[in-house]
Amino acid sequence: MAVNAASECKPRQTLGARLAPSPKARCTALFSTSLLRLSTGFRYVDPLANAEIASKLDKVGAKYDGLCQQLEKDDINFDKRVALEKTASKLEDIVGSFRLIQDCLKILNECEAEAQKAMAKEEDDGTADLFASEVENYREELHDLKTQLLEKLTPKDVSDTKSIILEVRPGTGGSEAGIFADELLRMYQKYAQSANLRFEITSLTREHSRFKEGIATITGDDALNKFMFESGVHRVQRVPETENQGRIHTSTVTVAVLTQPSAVDVRINQADLRIDVYRAGGAGGQHVNTTESAVRITHIPSGIVVAIQDERSQHKNKDKAMNILRARLYASEKQRAMKERREARSKLVGRGERSEKIRTYNFPKNRVTDHRINLSKYALTSVMEGVGLTEFIEHLQIHHFIDFLTDILVEE
């Protein structure tokens, strides 16, 4: 959308009648219950509750105003004007939402002040009741505006993704790594259930009773939003049950969160695939010994291999394997593009790559530490039950918003 008029450079003017207070009643006495309900209604965080996010939004607004001032000049050439309009159009929705929130907050504060005065009067002339309905409306409006801002700070591919693939594998640490990988998979299952997401084990592989790999499909609104920060190396520190001398062992587990792309998103050339079928291994039984139902698909250009043997049907195993292959190829391309963006940003803002190790679970100290945001909580049991994971996700979401706004500010 081109920004070529003074009116388009002032998104706060679009507030209009939607927030226009009535002449007589502009606030309410319904403070406690509605505030509690509204403050807990966000998917993760109130975008303005964090001072750094609010500061970044102010700077984005200042950048937008500067672009608008340049566009009002008559002496800029065509190419420069096109570039300025393109940049301004990227900022317009975010700045507009932020300033609508500021205007709504200003009106709401005035309303609440007037409501307090009305409540302090000895005579009951009915004014307080009129105030009640008005301020309740403003609080709901404020909640809606903040939700809209959250959506604009979230990439569309993240907010629109309703199905993801979660892969959990033991890393270093032998059998203890496999035990913890199994526990992490159960932790994610409990968290998904608490978040009203469908959690389905797609593939579970064990060797000699040891956990080797767990793959799950997670489906529901905001599925990627709730799991996007879990990819990486998870470290566990604890005394294994087989340890006689009480020594703490360190093991690792790798977690990968992949979006479930459609066939349109990822086009796979069948000539690039090698498909092998073989007899499924298992605990025993005639079926696994006689039927070639297991499927292994190799994507030759990338070297990615997916093997599935969970279903009795070869066709179903092939479909599952193709879905996982498609997700891995999609993730590989996104990671390549993300790496390029991070390298470009690091040149501008001087940031280095984050450590591969993202989180440590210290059992003796009942402590979980997320190294990306330097956050520690002494609530390991709660985290492993899935409930305590929410707080880490909220803080990671805040940093995600900050990074998103930082990218906007450094873009030319």
Pairing of strands 273-278, 232-238: unpaired
Q: Token pair of 65, please?
A: 């105003």
Q: Domain 161-258+365-412: give its CATH code.
A: 3.30.70.1660
204 to 171, 211, 269: CA distances (angstroms): 16, 8, 28
DSSP 21: P
Per the DSSP assignment, residues forming a β-bridge with 213 are 205
Tell if the pTM clears 0.75, that is, is over it: no
Q: Is 124 helix (H, G, I), strand (E, B) or coil?
A: coil
Nearest residue to 160 (alpha-carbon basis) of 250, 235, 224: 224
Q: Determine the distance from the C-alpha atom of residue 98 to the mean position of all C-alpha atoms in its chain, rounded to a whole number.
A: 20
The structural domains of the chain, with segments of one domain joined by +, span 6-153, 161-258+365-412, 261-349
Give the Cα separation of 312 and 71 in Å (integer): 65
pLDDT tens-place values along the chain, 412 residues long: 333 333 333 333 333 334 443 333 333 333 333 333 333 344 446 767 788 888 999 999 999 999 999 998 888 888 888 888 988 888 998 999 999 998 988 888 888 888 778 777 766 667 777 777 788 888 888 888 888 888 888 776 665 667 888 999 999 988 999 999 999 999 999 999 999 999 999 889 888 888 999 999 999 988 888 898 999 899 999 998 877 778 899 999 999 888 876 555 677 888 888 998 888 765 443 444 456 788 999 998 888 999 988 888 888 898 888 888 888 888 888 777 667 655 644 443 333 233 468 999 999 999 999 999 999 999 999 999 999 999 999 899 888 888 888 888 877 6
Q: Cα separation of 37 and 345, whole Å?
A: 39
Q: Are 314 and 293 in contact (CB under 8 A)?
A: yes
**CATH class as words, domain 261-349:** alpha beta
Instruction: State both tokens at 104.
Output: 């709504």
